[in-house]
Every structure is written in C-alpha cells, then in structure tokens.
Structure 1
Amino acid sequence: MVTRQTLLGGRPTLELEPAKARDRGRLLYLHGGGYVIGSPRTHAGLVGELARRAGLRAVSVDYRLAPEHPFPAAVDDGLAAYRELLAAGTAPQDLVMAGDSAGGGLVIATLLAAREAGLPQPAAVVVFSPWADLTLAGATIRSKEGADPIFTEADLRAYADLYVGAGDRAHPLVSPVFADLAGLPPLLVQAGANELLLDDAVRLAARAGADDVEVTLEVGSGLPHVFQHHYGLLGEADAALDRAARFLTAHLGTEHPAADRPEPVR
C-alpha cells in the first residue's frame, strides 16, 4: 500500500493506493471520532483494508473537528472534497464513499449537501456503525448500555455537545435519520448488535428504504461498534469488509443524478 499526503477541498488528505488498484474508480472516506477526535492516520488501517479489498485508490479527508470547528464545518469540508474530486475529472459513476461512526453520518450529510448543491451522486455508499441521530433518541442508546464495550450515553452526549452546542440536533445535516434521503445512491449499512448506535443504523436504513433508496442492512450478532477495525483478528470483520468491498465495486459505473427537489420543511 502506497500512502502520501495531499490536499483535497482545502484540507490535508491521506491518499492510499493498493498494489493492484483498478485503472478507474476512487473511494472517498470520512473517518469516525465523534466529530471531535480521529484523523486519516488513525483510520489508515481500516481505510487501507477496504481500499485493498476493493482494488480502489482511496482518499481520506482530515476534516475540521469540534469544538474549535463545530457544525457545519465537517459537512462543508466533506462537500468541498467531494466537489473537488468531481471538478478534477472523477466521474460520479467512478466514485464511491464510505465512513464509520460519526464519519458514516457525515458521509450521508455530505451527500445531502451535494444533492442540494445540484451535484450528481456517487455510485454507492457504505457506512459502518453510523452515528446518524445526535438527538440520541435511539432506544439502543439506553438498552445496549451494558453490552457496548466502548461507549456510554454520557460519552455520546458529550461529543454531541461539542459538535452542535445549542444548535438544532435534529437538523438533517446533523442527524440524517430525520432527512429526506430521496435520490441517494445504493447504501450498505453495517453495525454490531452490541452497540449503543445500533438503532441509528437500523433507523437510517429504514429511512432510506422509505425514501426509495436501494439499501442493505447488516447487523452482526455479538459485535461491537465499528467491529471492522478488528480485521485480521476477527473473522466477522474480514467477512464484513469483503462484503463492503464487493458492494462498492458492484455498483461502479452506475449513474445517480442529483435529486431536483429541496429538503422538506420540518
């Protein structure tokens, strides 16, 4: 895997190129970390594994983090990176996106912003354990508290406070479970059964299906938040990454035009 630092959308970006990369096709990745921590470097292993299995050159964006840069800075950076890839000549049908946790929610928010800007959609999207509801309304925020080995409800609330502050936590670009997802490309959602954000994944998939988006939801029994990080150690993680890679590559070459209607008034 060849890695190099570059810029995309005005932000530092890590490029990862597998040894056997396809001639065409790009993966745009947005990392997790509650909008407060994390970087392309902390997620280079996960992104590299997904890129290698898909045979795609990947770019992972170092978007701005809270509390120094609260909402909508991360969405603005995601949109700027996406816009620049298109402007530089990457055809939308050759572009796929992925993200984990907060980065998974940010991927969906980025595509909603792209839709509102009149930009075409990419070929497909994969999100791992997406944080898609910063109002923390999901039932598993409480019911999985003892089963989740990573988070407590207080942890998630602290991240949300730093990212949104006194802003509207039900805003569709903050919490995509409340958005109109019509016009988005095929979506694969993977989550673990033992995580507080399970309901975020389930409700995001349901919202996508209700809005006529092609969506696949996978829930791994007994697995934690972003279990895909445990590739090489956990068979379920390797299998999930293989499925995610196949999903992305199977949709390359598919065009999904931008939706021509705005977000509904809530």
Structure 2
Amino acid sequence: MSVSKESLFLNDLYSSWLRRSEGMDLAGQRDMFEEWHLPTIEPTDVTYEEVTANGVPATWAKPLGAAEDRVIVFTHGGGFVTGSRFSHRKLAAHLAKLAGVHALVVDYRLAPEAKHPAQLEDCIAVHKWLRTQGYKAEHTATVGDSAGAHLAISTVFELAGMALPIPAAVVALSPWLDMEIKGLTIESNDAVDVLAKRAVLEMMRENFLTDLSEATDPRANPLLRDYTDFPPVYVSVGGYETLLDDSRRVVELIEKAGSEAVLDVVDEQQHVFHFNAGRAPEADQALNRIAQWLRPKLGLA
C-alpha cells in the first residue's frame, strides 16, 4: 500500500520540527508545536466560541446543524508539555462536524509548571462544568490525541472513582499511554516514525511526572488500569508509529475485561495522522469511521 502524497505534508512538518528543535528551549518548542494546525484544512460551516469552564480555558467548535446537546470533550496532545486548544481546534471541529455534535477543546495546564495530576484535575473540572450546563454524561464522549488520548481515558477512571457519571464513549487518536515507554514498536518502528522518538518521549515524561516512580502508578499509566465496565473505546493509530504498541495493548486490556474496543490501524501513517483532515484521504476516511461509530454511542441515529 502506498500513502497519498497529501499525507506527506505531516511527515515534512515533523521532519522540520526535529531539525529545528536541536538546542531549543521549552518556550521555543511550544511555539513550534503550535504549527500542528497547519496540515489541517479549516472545516466549513463551523463557528468557534471561547469559554472558561470551571476556571479552565476552552474553545467550543459548533458545526452548523449539529446536535446541541451532544458533546465531545477534546483533550489535545503534545506530551503534556506542548499543544493547545488553538493547535487542535480544527482537528476537533472536523470530527465534531462528521459526528454532528459540538466539541469542547480543553486547554488544561501544561507540565512542567503543572505536574501530573494537574491535567486530570482540569479535565474533571470541565466535566463538572458541563453537567451544570445541562450536558448529560450519556451524551458526552472523551476524545484526545497522543497525551490527550491518555487524558481522555484517564478522565473516565477519575470520574468513576469520584462516583460521578462517566461518558458514553472514548476515542483515542494515536494514544501515548505507557509512561514506562517499553512498547515493542518503540524500537521496531523507530526508523519509520518521524516524530515520536524515544528521546522525545523521555523528555516529555520527565516534564510530566514529578518522579520516575510514577510511571508505574495507574493514574499516570492507563496500561495498568482495570477496564472492567469501561465504556466503549475506539482507537485509531498509524501503522508507522513507535506508539502503535500502546494502542494494541490497551485494546487487548479492554477486550479481556469484557468491554468494547475497536482498533483501527492505518498503514504507513504517522503519529496523529488525523491532523491531515481535509487534506489527505487517509485522515478523512479514518475520522469518518470514528464519527459513524461514535454517533450511536451518543444516542444519534
């Protein structure tokens, strides 16, 4: 199978990041990662609104004609240290438009200024706010990419642990879950993954965790969780990703626990290839499959 030439835009962007990042401080890296929006074509017929959800900055993406009482809570990737609601706004809007729902893109606090579990605390605050706004948990899904997918999964466990209603479904795009960084594809896909190299993951982990011992804490490592009675999960990942094994392992855990999980591996695609939404067929088709799966989970025909 050969990839579309349009999908190579993301490859080129990632390659430029690695070249430019040598010797760059964290502030510079954050500025650079804001370019994550560049591959994504602006979706039509979507309006945006800035809000503060229980003290957490967020952006609404509201597609024209979407169900106003259904929502995906989108947590952005970036290794917990980079990324924002602005870098991911268009990607979230594409999925929201395809699913016919609203999306709330969350700007949780970043590490290292705010270490784990500050990010989870912000996500919980957002879900509590949504309940006060009339959005029901059974009409809510958590969605995220990379580190944001970690939060999309972990938020469900946090809510359940607080005896609060949990979302109806979870979507994980190219999830980074294993804080021990010991997946088999870390090495086997190193030559073909342009961005998510071991050194990059280790740097982000160091910023995220207060101590390396937390890498085996289930709150920081969703691969150490018990997925009994977990809501349905859809995992979409590129075949060239060093983090591919994280996706395989979490789906195996969910299925062994008797819950529903879908694993969609798209051949020869890079980390969060979904950023090519509106540009490349691989991204558009993957997002459409997710949307078709998600709609009935949120009670939509």
Same topology, TM > 0.5: yes
Alignment-derived partner of residue 193 in structure 1:
239
The structure 1 residue matched to 2:167, chosen from 114, 122, 134, is 122
Q: How does 1:1-266 map to 2 (within 5 A)?
A: 1-166=46-211, 167-253=213-299
Instruction: Name segments (4+ residues, structure 1) moved above 3 Å.
Output: none
Select the structure that is richer in helix. 2
Q: Post-superposition shift, 1:232?
A: 2.2
* Gapped regions of structure 2 (runs ≥ 5): 1-45
Aligned partners of 2:196 and 2:103: how far apart in 1? 28
Q: CA RMSD in A?
A: 1.2
CA distance in 1, matches of 2:219, 2:54: 19
Cα distance between partner residues in 1 of 2:114 and 2:258: 34
Given that residues 142 and 153 in structure 2 are in contact (C-alpha distance below 8 angstroms), is that contact kept between their aligned partners in structure 1? no
TM-score, scaled relative to structure 1: 0.93
Partner of 1:107: helix, strand, or coil? helix
Deviations 1:179-210 (A, max 9, x none): 11222211000111101110011111111111
CA contact (8 A) 1:75 1:173 kept: no
Instruction: Report the Cα distance in structure 2 between the residues aligned to 1:24 and 1:107, rounded to whole angstroms.
Output: 20
* Contact 1:79/1:113 (8 A) holds in 2: yes
TM-score, structure 2 normalization: 0.82
Question: 1:173 and 1:86 mapped to 2: Cα distance?
Answer: 23
In 2: Cα distance, 1:213 partner to 1:40 partner: 30
Identity %: 35
CA distance in 2 between partners of 1:179 and 1:216 (Å): 18
Indicate the structure (1 or 2) with the bigger Cα radius of gyration. Answer: 2
- Give distance in 1, aligned partners of 2:255 and 2:267: 22
Counterpart code for 2:130 = L
C-alpha separation between the residues in 2 aligned to 1:73 and 1:223? 31
* Equivalent pair of 2:63/2:97 in contact (CA under 8 Å): yes
Contact residue 121 and residue 184 of structure 1 kept, 8 A: no
Q: Which runs of 5+ in 1 are unaligned?
A: 255-266
- 2:278 touches 2:284 (CA, 8 Å); kept in 1? yes
| 2:68/2:102 contact within 8 Å kept | no
Aligned residues: 254
